[in-house]
A and B are shown apart, each in its own frame.
Chain A
Amino acid sequence: MPTSTSVLAGASLELFDSGEGAPLLFLHGCDGFDPNHRFAATLAGHGRLIAPSHPGFGRSALPDWITEVDDIAYLYLELLDRLRLVSVDLVGCSVGGWIAAEMATKAPRRFRRIVLSAPVGVKTGPTDRLDIPDIFAMSDEALATLMFHDPAKGRLDPAALADEELAIRLRNRETLALLAWEPYMHNPKLRHRLHRVDCPVLFLRGESDGLVSDNYLRRYAGLLPDVRCATIAGAGHAPEVEQPDPFVARIEAFLAANTEPER
């Protein structure tokens, strides 16, 4: 079974681990990880895909002591130790991009190449305006419009989901609130640490992303030394879901173009 349970620092985590070859750690966005998504199968077909469900997401436990994204970053560095992976490629989406950025600032040598897709985590804009629109202060409808190129994809149909699946979605959102409520969607310290991340980094965003703006992405990227930015057409905040093939193609082209020796 590619999905198993791993206990780290007392936290029981759901872990997807599948495929052969160079290891890639994938950190999911705010809606959790679904191994049935097309991008996951494709990535696992090209190498080893390791994708934990963040604490409080999917079927992973949420220990009392976890209150911040920073806590999860340390947990996943421990995961790399446990899997005996000295260095990996790292892909993080949305809140997973934030976790990835935190990990990279703490242990830059452990990452060969990093992709941050629609990442949150820094504050670079003015004090009197949120960098990321307040997702907790809008209707589901309004949020779907900001999150998706095709908002119909964001509409939740409870009738189509079993109780367990629906409960997971509700819990994902609750955990996101716990982690991202205040400071909203960022760690004020992170921007002062990002210069340490000296490996090649690709910043991605969907062209129709109403949460992570082009401006935000570019300002974020400006905090790191070795970056390039790209946009995926026909996608919103989750290009891995809305445009899986271009998403994977972008990542693979980036990896192919940056083949530094293993760290």
Chain B
Amino acid sequence: MKAWHFSENAYHYLPPKETYESIRVTLPNRIYDPKKGAALYDRFIAEWLVAEEEGMGIMLNEHHQTATCVDPAAPLMLAALARLTTRARLLILGNPIANRRQPVRVAEEMAMVDVLSRGRLECGFVRGVPYEIAAGNSNPVRMNERQWEALDLIVKAWTTHDGPFSHEGRFFHHRMINIWPRPFQQPHPPIWISTTSPSGANQVGARGYVQATFLTGFDGTRAVFDGYRRGWRGAGLGEAVPAHRLAYAALVYTADNERDARAGAEKLLWYVTSNKVPRHFANPPGYVPIGANLAMLRGAEHPLSAFARGASVDAAIERGIMFAGTPDQVLKQIRKLYRHVGGFGHLLIMGQAGFLEHDETVAGIRHFARHVYPALKEEFPDTALTSDVPTAERAGVA
């Protein structure tokens, strides 16, 4: 198993939650103090460098017009990290290509980072969460179709080496595509896609890209991975999916005693509880299928929203969206989820959020890397085959 330190670069110096309607899209940027922001960038970069020092991968992402993630141009941060690091794999998860107007430009940016880092790029693509729609001025309807067309075009731009080709598609048009530089890794950097729906995972599985899912807990994650496995088999890629094709993102905090672990875990919960967004930004028309919207009007609730209302460390651990405690406890929690979902090869660690201070973040990274990670690598090798877990084995797991 590979572990990645993921930081959203949140800006947490905010007024009381009751004083604003939304932490995303409309929160005025006068609240953002560029001096404090610069110090935060220093700090978050230092934490990524600690992760590299401890043998972990580095992961970053991109959001817009939000205090939860002040990394609206992730390729810029990625370029900086490419030069500040020397060994770590660099995972961007990811490029929001349903909201980017020029896929070819994305192909160029990623190829450039791959060369700058001498082939350390792991290139993720995301459709983008619903609150990105307003900020990106992006049409919420037909986003999936846009995403796939953009991705196919990017891969073609990376892998075409004999002069220009043209693309006249449904969403994108480009007459002279001949990118310089081409990627360092051949034929192209590893591709990751994040989705939290089984049907989306099915499409990712059919292409054999790495599938990541975020905070989906025991049953949600299993459903996503099962979807991936169906797509993988359906496309004839093999019977069993290797662990290195599947990734799970959770909040993780490790300490040498339960008291410190609990304190860190409490602060990490900010990641879930701070996400105050009104419904019109959280669910623009067309973002989810009609059937899902119908179910919501009939009372269904997104599992994460339901959790956020009464969020607690214990509930988060119980649901499998957080691993926190002493090294033994964390290992046990990860093992339980691993078995329930049929296995996975990447643990994406949300190891910094909100009020978790620099020293605490660093301590969490080091404790995990030194006292949990070695055992994970030994017990769950990357090449292990994942499986649809027999129902009997799932019984008894919340």
Q: Which A residues contact B (CB, under 8 angstroms)? A: 64, 136-140, 156, 158, 163, 166-167, 170-171, 173-178, 181-182
Q: Given A170-B290, A171-B290, A177-B141, answer yes or no on A136-B297 (Cβ-Cβ < 8 Å).
A: no
**Complex Cα distance A81/B279, Å?**
43
Indicate which residue in B170, B279, B291, B298 contacts A158 across the interface (CB closer than 8 Å). B298
**B55: Cβ under 8 A from any A Cβ:** no
Is B298 in contact with A174, judged by CB distance below 8 angstroms?
no
CB pair B297 A158 closer than 8 Å: yes
Most buried by B among A64, A170, A175: A170
User: For residues 208 through 238 of chain B, which have their beta carbon under 8 Å from a beta carbon of chain A?
Assistant: none
Within 8 Å by CB of A181, from B141, B170, B281, B290, lies: B141
Residues of A within 8 A of B141 (CB): 174-175, 177-178, 181
What is the minimal beta-carbon distance from A129 to any residue of chain B, in angstroms?
A: 16
Number of interface residues of B (CB under 8 A): 21
Residues on B with C-beta less than 8 A from A156 are 297
**B285 touching A176 by the CB < 8 A rule?**
yes
Can you give 11 A-B contacts (C-beta < 8 A)? A136-B134, A136-B280, A137-B25, A137-B280, A156-B297, A158-B297, A158-B298, A166-B297, A170-B293, A174-B290, A176-B285
CB distance from B384 to the nearest CB of A (A): 41
Quick one: given A177-B286, A178-B142, are A163 and B294 in contact (CB under 8 Å)? yes
Instruction: Tell me if B28 counts as interface (CB < 8 A to partner A).
Output: no
Given A170-B293, A177-B141, 4 more pairs with CB closer than 8 A? A138-B280, A139-B278, A178-B139, A181-B141
Is A178's CB under 8 angstroms from B286's CB? yes
**Chain B: minimal CB distance from A170 (Å):** 5
- Which of B134, B170, B293, B298 has the most C-beta atoms of chain A within 10 angstroms of its own C-beta? B293
Prevailing SS type, chain A contact patch = helix
Cα A136 to Cα B282 in complex, Å, equals 11
Q: Is B200 an interface residue (CB 8 A)?
A: no
List chain B positions with a Cβ less than 8 A from chain A: 25, 134, 137, 139-142, 170, 278-281, 284-286, 290-291, 293-294, 297-298
A254 shortest CB reach to chain B, Å: 34
Complex interface: chain B residues within 8 A of A177 (CB): 139-141, 284-286
What is the minimal beta-carbon distance from B168 to any residue of chain A, in angstroms? Answer: 14
Contact B294 A167 (CB under 8 A): yes
- The CA-CA distance from A171 to B293 in the complex, in Å, is 10
Q: How far is the CA of A138 from the CA of B278 in the complex (A)?
A: 9
CA distance A182 to B134 in the complex (A): 11
Task: Name the CB-closest residue of B to A142.
Answer: B280
A52, B236: Cα distance in complex, Å? 45
* Docked CA distance A176–B281 (Å): 16
**Which residues does chain B contribute within 8 Å of A170, judged by CB atoms?**
285, 290, 293-294, 297
B294 to chain A, nearest CB (A): 6
A163–B141 Cα distance when bound, in Å, is: 21
In Å, the complex CA distance between A75 and B298 comes to: 35
Question: Contacts A158-B298, A163-B294 known; A182 to B139 CB distance under 8 Å?
Answer: yes
Query: A85 CB to closest chain B CB, in angstroms?
Result: 32
Closest beta carbon of chain A to B148's beta carbon, Å:
13
Q: Judging by beta carbons under 8 Å apart, are B290 and A136 in contact?
A: no
* Closest A-B pairs by Cβ, 5 of them: A178-B141, A158-B297, A174-B286, A181-B139, A177-B285
In angstroms, Cα B142 to Cα A174, docked, is: 10
Within the complex, what minimum Cβ distance (angstroms) separates B132 from chain A? 14
Kindly state the separation between the CA atoms of A137 and B285 in the bound complex, as whole angstroms: 11
Distance, CA A178 to CA B134, complexed state (A): 14
What are the residues of chain A within 8 A of B140 when measuring CB–CB? 177, 181
Q: How far is the CB of B131 from chain A (nearest CB, A)?
A: 11
Once the chains bind, are A136 and B285 in contact (CB under 8 Å)? yes
Residues of A contacting B290 in the complex (Cβ-Cβ under 8 angstroms): 167, 170-171, 174
A127 CB to closest chain B CB (Å) equals: 15
Of chain B, the residue at the smallest CB distance from A65 is: B170
**What residues on B are CB-neighbors of A158 within 8 Å?**
297-298
B residues within 8 A CB of A178? 139, 141-142, 286
Q: Which residues on B sit within 8 Å (CB–CB) of A174?
A: 141, 285-286, 290
Q: How close is B27's CB to chain A, nearest CB, in angstroms?
A: 14
Q: Which residues of B contact A166 (CB under 8 A)?
A: 294, 297
Assembly CA distance A138 to B280 (angstroms): 6
A177 and B141 alpha carbons, distance in the complex (Å): 7
| Nearest CB of A to B115, in Å | 34
Beta-carbon nearest neighbor of A161 in chain B: B297
Interface contact A139-B279, CB-CB below 8 Å = yes
Q: Establish whether residues A182 and B137, one from each chain, have CB atoms under 8 Å apart when the complex forms.
A: yes
Residue of A nearest to B299 (CB): A158
What B residues does A140 contact at CB under 8 A?
279-280
